[in-house]
Amino acid sequence: MPVDSDRDVFARFQNEGQPPGIALLAFARYAEAKYDWEAHYQDRFGRPPDAPEIEDWIQNLPDSRLSAILAEAVAYFGELAAAYMEPRIAAERQKAIDSSIVGDVQGMVAQVKKAMSFWSTFWANVAAGIVASFVFALLIVFAALIFNKDPSPFSFLRQPQPAATPASTPAPSLPARPAVP
C-alpha cells in the first residue's frame, strides 16, 4: 500500500493487525525518524524542508523501513510490558514455587534442620545413651553368668549329662580307728 502522508503511515500501522497501542508507538517512532530527517536536512541545506520535500521523503520510505519501525514498536511495547509486570511476575513466580513440590521440599528441609539442631536432640541422645548403656550392662552380666559355669561359647547348646549313680562308683573305705584305752 503506497503511503503519501502521515495519515497513510498511521493507517498502515493500524492495518497490520496490531493492537492500537502498538500502532501509536509505531507512529511515534515514525515521527521520531521524520524529525531526525528534518533536522539532518536543516543541517545539510541550512533551511527546513518544504511540504513537497517532506511528501517526497514519505513516499520514498521503503516498506521494509515501515516494517522495521513496526517491529521496533512491538519490541519496545514488550519491554515496557515486561518492566511494568516484573513485580507481579516475581510475586506470582514465588507463589508458584511456594505452592509447588520445591516449596514443600524446602519446608521439609527447614523442619529437618530444626529437628537435627543440637539442643533439640540433646536430651533424646542422652536418654538413648543411658538406655544403651543399661542394655549393654545387662548383656555383660548375662554373658558372665553363662560363662561362669562353662567358658565354652557353645555351652548353652550341650545337653546336661546325667549325674553319676552311687551304685556304679565304689565307696571309699575308711581305715579303722584304733580303740582308745
- Please report whether residue 56 resides in a domain: yes
Structural domain count of the chain: 1
- For residues 58-95, one letter each, b for 16 or more C-beta atoms within 10 angstroms of the residue's C-beta and e for the rest, the string is beebeeeebeebbeebeeebeeeeeeeeeeeeeeeeee
For cell 518492566, name the residue. Answer: 83
The span from the CA of 62 to the CA of 30, in Å, is 13
- Please report whether residue 169 resides in a domain: no
The span from the CA of 47 to the CA of 77, in Å, is 35
- Please report whether residue 164 resides in a domain: no
- Please report whether residue 135 resides in a domain: no
- Please report whether residue 162 resides in a domain: no
* pTM assigned to the model: 0.48
- Please report whether residue 30 resides in a domain: yes
The per-residue pLDDT for range 90-147, each reduced to its tens digit, is 898 888 877 777 777 888 888 888 877 777 778 888 889 999 999 999 998 887 777 7
- Please report whether residue 97 resides in a domain: yes
Q: Are 66 and 18 in contact (CB under 8 A)?
A: no
- Please report whether residue 79 resides in a domain: yes
Q: Which grid cell sits at 131? A: 538406655
Quote the domain boundaries for residue 18: 6-105
